[in-house]
Amino acid sequence: MQAEAHERHAAVGTAALELEDAAVSRGGRSIWKGVTLRVEPGEYVAVLGPNGVGKSTLIQAILGLLPLAAGSLEVFGRPPHEAASLLGYLPQRHSFDSSLRLRARDLVRLGLDGNRWGLPLPFAPGNREIARRVDEVLEVVGAAAYAGRPVGELSGGEQQRILIARALVRSPRMLLMDEPLESLDLGNQQAISSLARDICRTEGVTVIMVAHDVNPILGDLDRVIYMAGGSAVIGRPEEVITSEKLSALYNAHIEVLRTSDGRLFVVGQQPEAISYHAHD
């Protein structure tokens, strides 16, 4: 069904994200270049690749926080800085002090205030409307039961849901999440991934999630962006995570092993490729 949606949009509509021959440099060093890819509205896409390859850099470029060195990048047909109000963002790595007394639902509410990634709301919602919207997103992420507790007391998985609710409260059309599965147990990784899939399907939100291990999310994903060797490719997991594609991307011999239960392991000569399967 999603593949059909992909083809239909590809033929006519505006892409959620479109990069053409895009390149980014940081500190005078090229991070990636020659990146051409298109993500359709409502797709759930994972960004994979070894540490330091430029996954967070891609998210920052989409947010309009980093200029391109070459090529183009459009978000819903606009330059990134004009699309900021359409984006929800969950940054990589955050932890709350266990003494933080702020209630979870108040943290979600803070997502409605103007911030770096969003323009001020075009209307000033009344307190009742705000409370209704906060309740709605807490329901969507399944966090209603603990929304009244202090954030610092919640478990990592519970905090993650609250942060997703905060990123969703302004009804973004695209949700960017940088390693939201980090430090969660396998059950919670799968739960957050199926939540991401549901947000795509029921709210029509495009989800772009940086992940370290594809296996817990493989069943939910539409496509993956695989970054390596200073560039990136996009496709369905079975098209991209192959020995042939990854060997070309890394410019080295890479083996992709598939276990009998369908899990994928990437094994290669480069240390960063080997570290990629360090999950087990």
Ligand X SMILES: Nc1ncnc2c1ncn2[C@@H]1O[C@H](COP(=O)(O)OP(=O)(O)OP(=O)(O)O)[C@@H](O)[C@H]1O
Per-residue x/- track, 188-227, ligand X (CB under 6 A): ----------------------------------------
- Tell me if 56 contacts ligand X by CB under 6 A: yes
Which of these segments, 24-32, 70-78, 244-252, 261-269, binds ligand X (CB under 6 A)? 24-32
Q: Which residue's entry shows tokens 């939910």? A: 220
Comparison of 30 and 171: residue with beta carbon closer to ligand X: 30
Minimum gap (Å) between residue 19 Cβ and Mg ion: 18
Tell me, by CB under 6 A, how many residues bind ligand X: 12
- Tell me if 51 contacts ligand X by CB under 6 A: yes
Minimum gap (Å) between residue 241 Cβ and ligand X: 17
Compute the C-alpha angle 126/132/136, nearest 5°: 145
Minimum gap (Å) between residue 17 Cβ and Mg ion: 18
Report the C-alpha gap between 265 and 230 in whole angstroms: 21
Q: Report the site for ligand X in 68-107 (rule: CB under 6 A).
A: 92
Q: What is the DSSP string of 182-240?
A: TT--HHHHHHHHHHHHHHHHHH--EEEEE-S-SGGGTTT-SEEEEEETTEEEEE-HHHH
Q: Report the site for Mg ion in 86-145 (rule: CB under 5 A).
A: 92
Q: How many CA atoms lie within 13 A of 39 on its CB side?
A: 33
- Three-state SS at 33: strand
266: which strand partners? 256
Comparison of 78 and 94: residue with beta carbon closer to Mg ion: 94
Task: Please select the residue that binds ligand X; options are 13, 52, 114, 204, rule is CB under 6 A.
Answer: 52
- Three-state SS at 167: helix
Q: Which residue's entry shows tokens 């960004």? A: 47
Which of these segments, 34-42, 50-58, 234-242, 259-267, binds ligand X (CB under 6 A)? 50-58
Report CA torsion sign: 201, 123, 60, 82. positive
- Tell me if 27 contacts ligand X by CB under 6 A: yes
- Tell me if 56 contacts Mg ion by CB under 5 A: yes
- Tell me if 55 contacts ligand X by CB under 6 A: yes
Task: Please select the residue that binds ligand X; options are 31, 134, 143, 256, rule is CB under 6 A.
Answer: 31
- Tell me if 26 contacts ligand X by CB under 6 A: yes
- Tell me if 57 contacts ligand X by CB under 6 A: yes
Q: Angle at which helices 156-168 and 127-140 pack, to 10 degrees?
A: 130
Minimum gap (Å) between residue 276 Cβ and Mg ion: 14
Report the C-alpha gap between 197 and 206 in whole angstroms: 9
From the list ligand X, Mg ion, none, pick the one residue 54 interacts with, judged by a Cβ distance below 5 to 8 Å according to partner type: ligand X
Comparison of 93 and 128: residue with beta carbon closer to ligand X: 93
How far, in Å, are 15, 63, 75, 169 from residue 78 at the CA level? 10, 12, 5, 22
The answer to whether the CB of 171 falls within 8 A of the CB of 85 is no
**Binding site residues, Mg ion, CB under 5 A:** 55-56, 92
**Binding site residues, ligand X, CB under 6 A:** 26-27, 31, 49, 51-57, 92
